[in-house]
Amino acid sequence: MSVTAARTRRRARIPRCTHPQGCARTRRSAPEPALRGRRLPGWALLAIAVAALGLAAAVVYPAGIGNWVLVTVIAAILYLTGVFAAAWSVEGPRSARNRTWSALIHSAFVLAVLPLASVTWTLVAKGSRRLDHDFFFTSMRNIGARDANGGAYHAIVGTLEQTGIATLITVPLGICAAIYVVEYGRGPLAGTIRFFVGVMTGIPSIVAGLFVLSFWVLVISPKLNGGRPGYSGFAAALALTVLMLPTVVRSTEEMLRLVPASLREGAYALGVPKWKTVLRIVLPTALPGIVTGVMLALARAAGETAPVLLVAGGGASINVNPFQDNQNSLALLTFQQAGDASRYAPARAWSAALTLVALVLILTIAAKLVAGRSPLAR
């Protein structure tokens, strides 16, 4: 790679030194040999930007073919072309390419910040309107199209219970799987498990929902409660487990690998059996990192709508029993209210969305803070 770099450099280096115009001009302006080539002054970039904007406006507005968006787009293209041309004539082709790419990379960043800012702004502006007492302490039971109140209590209960049960199932399972892969796994089986944990990360949430639908709701649960398919919060928790498991295994695995081998060797040398070493030495050392991974998985699971839609039913009343009858969740409530024709529904949808995002963000930020406290933090 460095050889390629050197070759490119060598090939490109020669023209700049023997550039007839550049050298001639340099010699004329400064008698002593210049160490640096001529550079485009800062005001030139500004001038190009202003000129591009003016030209774009002058073309777009009189012709009546668009609004400020088109002006911005055309101005951006003109600016890039202008910078390229100016840098080419003053600093040479290599610098021209450098400046253009640098401008492109910066503009990609600006382009990405726009939707992020818009999402945040809308969420806070529209979501804070209905964050009142009713929203947090009542459900949607008996709320008709003409009722302005109604709340998300049932959905909050559902979200907490479903993600809680999912965590209770996922954490032991995921940690054990990671322990097998890192501490015991040898040969093809451990490799296969690692590989498919990665693949499992990519399973669409709707497929996880369909899986629990066709496995638990339609096949197993009818045998338990007399032939009725059991749409319930527990089914949603199972679906979330399918989605959380690979994330937990993966993050735990990484953390276990970061535990220094000398710690394990020290324990073995003192006569501690392997399982005790893993449980008492390795796991506690890796614990903050594992907690981080679990919290991130939890945050992602809390926001899932599709599986809950398929297997939890999503009722309007409060149901604190996750094992029986329909349950709602914040994400599902957002989806339902977004599709509701009532004029009061959008405000409820945005408030539910804001509550959900707040929950997810608190989990994510807390996870990062825990990660920062880890003795293994890189």
Partner 1 sequence: MGKPIPIRPAGASVPGEPPHPPRLAPASALGGGGPRRRTLSADAVFRGVTLAAGAMVLVVIVAIAIFLGYQAVPALGRNSANFFTYQDWFPDSAPPAFGIAATGFGTVYTAVIALALAVPVSLGIALYLSHYAPRQVATALGFLIDLLAAVPSVVFGLWGRDCLYTPVRELSAWLNHYVGWFPPFHGDGPYGRSFLLGGVLLAIMILPIITSLSREVFRQSPKANEEAALALGATKWEMIRTAVLPYARPGIIAAVMLGLGRALGETIALAMTLGNTNILGFDLVTNGGTTIAANIANKFGEAGDTGRGALIASGLFLFGITLVVNVIARAVIFRRRELTETAV
Kindly tell me which residue out of 81, 89, 122, 225 binds partner 1, with binding defined by CB under 8 A.
122
C-beta of 204 vs 320, nearer to partner 1:
204
Q: Least Å distance between CB 372 and partner 1?
A: 12
Window of 24-32, 77-85, 95-103, 135-143 that interacts with partner 1 by CB under 8 A: 95-103
- Residue 13 within binding range of partner 1, rule CB under 8 A: yes
Window of 77-85, 93-101, 140-148, 149-157 that interacts with partner 1 by CB under 8 A: 93-101
- Residue 22 within binding range of partner 1, rule CB under 8 A: no
Report the distance separating Cα 286 and Cα 267, nearest Å: 16
**327 phi/psi in degrees, rounded to 5:** -135, 155
β-pair partners for 327? 313
Report the distance separating Cα 19 and Cα 37, nearest Å: 11
- Residue 105 within binding range of partner 1, rule CB under 8 A: yes
Q: Hey, which residues between 169 and 198 contact partner 1 (CB under 8 A)?
A: 172-177, 179-186, 189-190, 192-198
C-beta of 65 vs 145, nearer to partner 1:
65
The CA R_g of the chain, rounded to the nearest whole Å, is 30
- Which residue in this structure is represented by tokens 């890189």? 378
List, in order, residues 6 or more apart from 211 with CB less than 8 Å away. 239, 242
C-beta of 51 vs 94, nearer to partner 1:
94
* CA dihedral of residues 368, 373, 374, 378 (deg, nearest 10): 70
Phi-psi category of residue 187: left, alpha or beta, with phi > 0 → left and psi -120 to 50 → alpha: left
Window of 53-61, 77-85, 119-127, 138-146 that interacts with partner 1 by CB under 8 A: 119-127
Task: Count residues binding partner 1 (CB under 8 A).
Answer: 124
Window of 50-58, 140-148, 160-168, 296-304 that interacts with partner 1 by CB under 8 A: 296-304
End-to-end CA distance of the chain: 28
- Residue 228 within binding range of partner 1, rule CB under 8 A: no
- Residue 246 within binding range of partner 1, rule CB under 8 A: yes
C-beta of 118 vs 320, nearer to partner 1:
118
Q: Least Å distance between CB 179 and partner 1?
A: 5
- 327 contacts 312 by C-beta, under 8 angstroms: yes
Report the distance separating Cα 212 and Cα 189, nearest Å: 26
Report the distance separating Cα 74 and Cα 262, nearest Å: 61
- Residue 101 within binding range of partner 1, rule CB under 8 A: yes
Site string (247-276) toward partner 1, x via CB under 8 A: --xx---x--x---x--xx-xxxxxxxxxx
Site string (320-359) toward partner 1, x via CB under 8 A: -----------x--xx--xx------x--xx--x--xx--
The closest alpha carbon to 180, from 266, 265, 284, 275, belongs to 275
The CA distances from residue 136 to 128, 140, 316, in Å, are 12, 11, 14
Kindly tell me which residue out of 85, 119, 148, 377 binds partner 1, with binding defined by CB under 8 A.
119
Report the distance separating Cα 123 and Cα 121, nearest Å: 5
Q: Least Å distance between CB 320 and partner 1?
A: 23
